[in-house]
Structure 1
């Protein structure tokens, strides 16, 4: 009888070992996400771009980068609401908008305050409360349909999104739109 329990315990341990990594990924699995780049080091940045985040716009609406280029964005939330600077594809932004709506609906965050705890810890994104400034450094990998966007509920839909192109030409540093 003890042999039966030993075999059962071994089988249960094997099932747990195989399924746990698959379940742990949840909706944040990287298996279906394209390679968009990675966090960079400010000391190795090729450029620094100042970006103002307002209600609901960025001070630049497009960005031209080279594959492998590292850019430090000096971000300033000059609006009255919480804003995000997130690098991703349209599909990634849609999925993140759904997550942000869940955080808002659950009371984990508000339109003015960041999520409590570690609710927003994506490496390709940064949230800024009104009046807050921060730096965000990213090394870009050539990807079709890459954007920077704010995924706070309703902000993307009201135009807080910009395009990233990989035409090899380096764009001038960010300046306010007129």
Structure 2
């Protein structure tokens, strides 16, 4: 009986982890995904009442973002409105070059990998999505579409966050 419970527990655990990486038809595309407020090198998840600026980005099947260069001041909470003008699923992921490189490599190995963090937005073809992010740390950061092949095709952008004297 103990062996049976162990096997069931193993199957349930494997099933849960498999579900966590399956992108499928992307049920979260176009939605602002709530997530843990975890401090990252490039900032922290923001909330609607703290938004100080709205920026609209477009994505397309030419594997480009418009605009692809953004500048903010430290402390700004930005509502990104993300429009996918293409016929393919695209995403916006904010991070450091190193983290985006690592994540892109994982996406090549596991193209169906699901990833939902507050600094990511998945947007289905022809749809609009968004995210809210607080840039509470100065520096040079990046954003990209990490869907397998998109990053490698140059679907990237730069973010500059200027320090504010305190």
Would you call these one fold, judging by a TM-score over 0.5? yes
> 2:129 maps to which residue?
134
**Secondary structure of 1:94's match?**
helix
**Secondary structure of 1:96's match?**
helix
> 1:102 maps to which residue?
109
TM-score, normalised by the number of residues in structure 2: 0.68
Query: Within 2, Cα distance between the matches of 1:141 and 1:131?
Result: 32
> 2:70 maps to which residue?
63
Post-superposition Cα deviations, 1:4-24, rounded to whole Å, max 9, x if no partner, equal xxxxxxxxxxxxxxxxxxxxx
Post-superposition Cα deviations, 1:85-135, rounded to whole Å, max 9, x if no partner, equal 11101101011112222332xxxx3xxxxx6xxx21222111112122112
Structure 1 runs (4+) greater than 6 angstroms displaced: none
Indicate conservation of the 8 Å contact 1:64/1:168, yes or no. no
Query: Within 1, Cα distance between the matches of 2:162 and 2:139?
Result: 11
**Secondary structure of 2:110's match?**
helix
TM-score, normalised by the number of residues in structure 1: 0.63
Indicate conservation of the 8 Å contact 2:122/2:129, yes or no. no
Indicate conservation of the 8 Å contact 1:69/1:140, yes or no. yes
User: How many residues are treated as equivalent by the alignment?
Assistant: 125
In the alignment, structure 1 segments of 5+ residues that lack a partner are: 1-32, 110-114, 170-178
In the alignment, structure 2 segments of 5+ residues that lack a partner are: 1-38
Greater C-alpha Rg = 1
Higher strand proportion: 2
Shift of 1:158: 1.9
